[in-house]
Structure 1
Amino acid sequence: MSASANLGQEWPPIGEFAEPIVEELVSGAPALGLGVSESEEGATIIDAGILHPGGLEAGRIIAELCMGGVGAVSLSGGSPFADWPFQVNVMTAKPVLACLASQYAGWSLSHGEGESAYFAMASGPGRARAAKEDLFKELGYRDESETAVFVLETDKVPPDALIAQVAQDCGLPVDALTFVLTPTTSLAGSVQIVSRVLEVALHKVHTLHFPLERVVDGIARAPLAPPSPDFLTAMGRTNDAVLFGGEAHLFVTGPESEAEDLAKKLPSSASNDYGQPFKEVFQAANFDFYKIDGMLFSPARVLVTALETGRTFKGGKLDADLLARSFEN
Structure 2
Amino acid sequence: MTSSPSPADTSDIAQAPLLSVNALSERLVTQLVDEAASLRIAISRTEAGTVIADAGVDAPGSLDAGVLIARICMGGLGRVSTRMSAENTPLWPVMIDVQTSWPVLACLGSQYAGWSLSATKEQTGGKKFFSLGSGPARALAGKEDLFTELGYRDRHDHGALVLEVDRLPPQVIVDKVVNDCGLAPERLTLIVTPTHSVAGTVQVVARVVEVALHKTHVLGVDLAEVVEGSGCAPLPPPAPDGIAAMGRTNDAILYGGRVHLTVQHDAVARRLAAELPSSNARDYGRPFADIFTAFNYDFYQIDPALFAPAEVWISSLESGATYHGGKVDAALLQAQWGAP
What's the TM-score, normalizing by structure 1?
0.95
The equivalent residue for 1:161 is: 172
The equivalent residue for 2:48 is: 41
The equivalent residue for 2:24 is: 17
Matched, 1:294 2:311: no
Given candidates 221, 224, 237, the residue that maps to 1:226 is: 237
Runs of 4+ in structure 1 off by over 3 angstroms are 3-11
Cα distance in 2 between the residues matched to 1:260 and 1:83: 27
Change (3 A) 1:257 1:94: same
Cα distance in 2 between the residues matched to 1:322 and 1:160: 42
The equivalent residue for 1:193 is: 204
Cα distance in 1 between the residues matched to 2:292 and 2:153: 34
Q: In the alignment, residue 89 of structure 1 is paired with which amino acid?
A: D
Contact 1:198 1:248 (C-alpha < 8 Å) held by counterparts: yes
Cα distance in 2 between the residues matched to 1:188 and 1:6: 30
Cα RMSD after superposing both structures: 1.7
Identity %: 48
Given candidates 181, 205, 210, the residue that maps to 2:221 is: 210
Given candidates 47, 52, 56, the residue that maps to 2:63 is: 56
The equivalent residue for 2:77 is: 70
The equivalent residue for 1:317 is: 327
Matches within 5 A, 1:26-175: 26-78=33-85, 82=90, 84-113=92-121, 116-175=127-186
Q: Where do 5+ consecutive residues of structure 2 fail to align?
A: 1-8
Cα distance in 1 between the residues matched to 2:176 and 2:330: 44
Cα distance in 1 between the residues matched to 2:208 and 2:91: 20
Contact 2:91 2:330 (C-alpha < 8 Å) held by counterparts: no
Moved more, 128-137 or 156-165: 156-165
Matched residue of 1:234: which SS? helix
Cα distance in 2 between the residues matched to 1:174 and 1:36: 15
Contact 1:47 1:181 (C-alpha < 8 Å) held by counterparts: yes
Q: In the alignment, residue 213 of structure 2 is paired with which amino acid?
A: L
Contact 1:5 1:140 (C-alpha < 8 Å) held by counterparts: no
Cα distance in 2 between the residues matched to 1:110 and 1:98: 25
Matched, 1:283 2:293: yes
Contact 2:313 2:322 (C-alpha < 8 Å) held by counterparts: yes
Matched residue of 2:255: which SS? helix
Cα distance in 1 between the residues matched to 2:29 and 2:268: 39
Cα distance in 1 between the residues matched to 2:237 and 2:65: 15
Change (3 A) 1:143 1:193: same
Change (3 A) 1:6 1:104: closer
Change (3 A) 1:297 1:45: same
Contact 2:12 2:102 (C-alpha < 8 Å) held by counterparts: no
Aligned length: 326
Given candidates 300, 313, 321, the residue that maps to 1:303 is: 313
Q: Where do 5+ consecutive residues of structure 1 fail to align?
A: none
Change (3 A) 1:143 1:110: same
What's the TM-score, normalizing by structure 2?
0.92
